[in-house]
A and B are shown apart, each in its own frame.
Chain A
Amino acid sequence: MQSLAARIAALDPSAEAAMQVIAYFDELTQRHAGLEPVVRGAATLTGVAARLVDPVRRVRMRVTADGRRQDSDAPPEPTWLSAPVFADQPATIWLETQPRGSLIDDLVLQRAALTAGVVLTLVRGQQPTTRVGIECALTETVLDPHATVDNRLTAARQLGLAPDASARVFALPRGGATIAPPDRAVPAEGRVGVGPATPVLRLPESAARARTALRFTAEGTEHDPGPRVVHAEELGGLELLAQALGPDTPRPPDLDTLLRASAEAPWMLATLTVFAEAASLRGAASRLFIHHSTLQQRIEHAERVLGWPLREPAGQLRLALALAMRLLARPEV
């Protein structure tokens, strides 16, 4: 039995072949087929691999010409044949071929897009088509370094960002990210990593640095003292430290020592954090709401437990690094 594609190819690109294509997708719609059969239909009817990419609903599937599901991380080539699934959303059906003057290709794309639109709306539901959902998806596309330039610029435009605009990324806990104009205020609540302002096409870079900055933020409690907001541009060499150290890397000895010391005295972490940031012992004492002689005693105790001096520049740098390492070694936020 010949494959359907071969049988259709053997025909003229005539009304009969067109009828077959239309009947195929109509039947899928009537039988409430899922998405994969639609993509498989596009692939097997044209004899080339087909893809459906819908960033809004996080759908990304690929089916080869012989009907096998074989997803790919590689982005679609901008020159491939494609058709939008919706007029106002970025979902797209792709055929992995350059335009080759085939009427059947065009018809299949059109019918597949139509069918996929019905399935996406019915099966994947309304929730992701809310404005917030679309924005999340568009943001994801703009920040995806593997997305094509065209897709990123289109998504940026839909977010209201001109191709020559500049913007920055706010990295938020649990993988969240917001794209903002350079002059927008940092969100007033929660931990925020702030990326540098960059042109639209370099926003993936801003996002990466914002996520690094987010790792240096803290809850600001006694157990997790530190800043709520961190700007990547102010990290300096600490950005490099972030590459070397994470929750899964072995702990350097100074970090071990710091954590042991913190377990011993509940005030230790908060006191050392404020002391490391403050310009003077007196300034630190007032921020901690303790008398400066109390702070003096705490620092002397800390020097004994840690085993290095804290009141001279070299020891202060060592303390600052140990505190930074503590932040980096926490589980991902």
Chain B
Amino acid sequence: MTLTPPPFDPELAAVLAASGHTSIATGITPETIAAQRELLLDGVASVAELSRDGVFTIAEHTAPGPAGAPDISLLVARPRTAVGPRPVLYHTHGGGLIMGNNRFGLEPVLDLAEQLNLVVVSVAYRLAPEHPFPAGLEDAYAGLLWTARKAASISADPERIVLVGGSAGGNLAAALALLARDRREVEVIGQLLMYPMLDDRNDSISARQMTGLGVWDSVSNRTAWDAVLGTARDGEVSPYAVPARAADLTGLPPAFLDAGSAETFRDEVVGYAQRLWAAGGNAELHVWPGAYHGFDTFAPQAAISQHAMMARGQWLARLLGE
């Protein structure tokens, strides 16, 4: 039976049409990863642009990497007007765990930080396939530890760290929430998971509906998971690599999850939210109708993108009590 995909939102479809492509980052194979990496970084904001004419002070910090691994680099954006320590958005970037850098996808996060005067820490983690699981996650965890321990040096409040990530960054944020719960070395108070990549099984209805369509499809997703986990995997996959496979979702901090109705991750995001509730957790879920993956970064002006960003900001404001 062929599956009919949900229609794209008109404004999002128009932006896609104007891009001159029928779809974006679909059909990625191991052979095309290198080319996609370059495409993805084309147009990523420079450090100067990130400062937003002085709204943020941007600094690069180096932190010890995981045991036996190289140091990691953290980009820290501090609001210039903040006087005392402010809550932290700990950002893990997207790009399928195989692409991107710690400036990629940072703009919507800086929007949130600007609204609420928050510190942003964005971690550069090692990418697959050169560095398969758990390299990237352990880098991100090392950066999180540094953020909590060195909070004073960046005017941050170590008791109010919120994990933020879009797409593969959402995977890492969800995994960091699990690690933080289990290792008990650092405390996080929330996880903001924007259209997160949560499940390597890649066989949901939405994954099948959206193959070859929109942004980031099941083919690209398969390539990415193979790069992270290796091709010869079976049921014995670490829940820290694949949060959707975690048997125990109790004791996690409040979560915000969203997804587009017209993207491959829709069903795994909805499923994860349901399991968080089933585990007695606190989660807020939005499915934006007709939205493709990463819609708010491709078409920030679209009405649906504005609503999504507003919803995230309001959740964050409630979480932080501000």
Q: Residues of A at under 8 Å CB distance from B?
A: 1-4, 7, 16, 19-21, 23-28, 30-34, 36-37, 40-41, 43-44, 66-69
Contacts and interface: CB of A to CB of B under 8 A. Distances in A.
Nearest to A67: B301
Interface stretch (B3-11, B27-35, B51-59, B146-154): B3-11
A34 B305 CA distance: 16
Contact of B107 (A1, A4, A37, A41): A1
Closest A-B pairs by Cβ, 4 of them: A67-B301, A33-B10, A31-B10, A27-B17
A215 B9 CA distance: 50
A33 B297 contact: no
A41 B14 contact: yes
22 contacts: A1-B107, A2-B43, A3-B300, A4-B18, A4-B301, A24-B15, A24-B17, A24-B18, A26-B17, A27-B18, A28-B10, A28-B13, A31-B14, A33-B11, A37-B303, A40-B11, A40-B301, A40-B302, A66-B300, A67-B303, A67-B305, A69-B303
A27 B10 contact: yes
B299 interface: yes
A3 B296 CA distance: 11
Given A23-B18, A24-B18, A31-B8, A1 B43 contact: yes
A223 B62 CA distance: 87
Contacts of B7: 31
Given A23-B20, A27-B16, A67-B305, 20 more contacts: A1-B43, A1-B297, A1-B300, A20-B18, A23-B17, A24-B17, A24-B18, A26-B17, A28-B10, A28-B11, A30-B13, A31-B13, A33-B11, A36-B303, A40-B301, A40-B303, A43-B301, A44-B301, A67-B303, A68-B306
Contacts, number: 75
Contact of A67 (B14, B19, B300): B300
Interface string B203-224: 0000000000000000000000
A20 B20 contact: yes
Interface residues of B, number: 24
A33 B20 contact: no
Q: Give the dominant DSSP class at A's interface.
A: helix
Interface in B289-322: 297-303, 305-306
Q: Give the dominant DSSP class at B's interface.
A: helix
A292 to B, nearest CB: 74
Contacts of B13: 27-28, 30-31
Residue among A19, A21, A44, A66 with the highest chain B CB neighbour number at 10 A = A44
Contacts of A32: 10
Contact of B14 (A3, A27, A36, A43): A27
A37 B11 contact: yes
Given A3-B300, A4-B15, A4-B299, A37 B306 contact: no
A24 B14 contact: yes
Contacts of B43: 1-2, 7
B300 A25 contact: no
Contacts of B11: 28, 33, 37, 40-41
B13 to A, nearest CB: 5
B180 to A, nearest CB: 30
Contacts of B306: 67-68
Contacts of B302: 37, 40, 67
Nearest to A34: B10
A266 to B, nearest CB: 59
A26 B17 CA distance: 9
Contacts of A69: 303
A25 B301 contact: no
Residue among A24, A43, A68 with the highest chain B CB neighbour number at 10 A = A24
Contacts of A44: 301
A23 to B, nearest CB: 4
Nearest to A40: B301
A157 to B, nearest CB: 36
A155 to B, nearest CB: 31
Contacts of B19: 20
B96 to A, nearest CB: 16
A19 B18 CA distance: 7
A27 B299 CA distance: 14
A66 B13 CA distance: 18
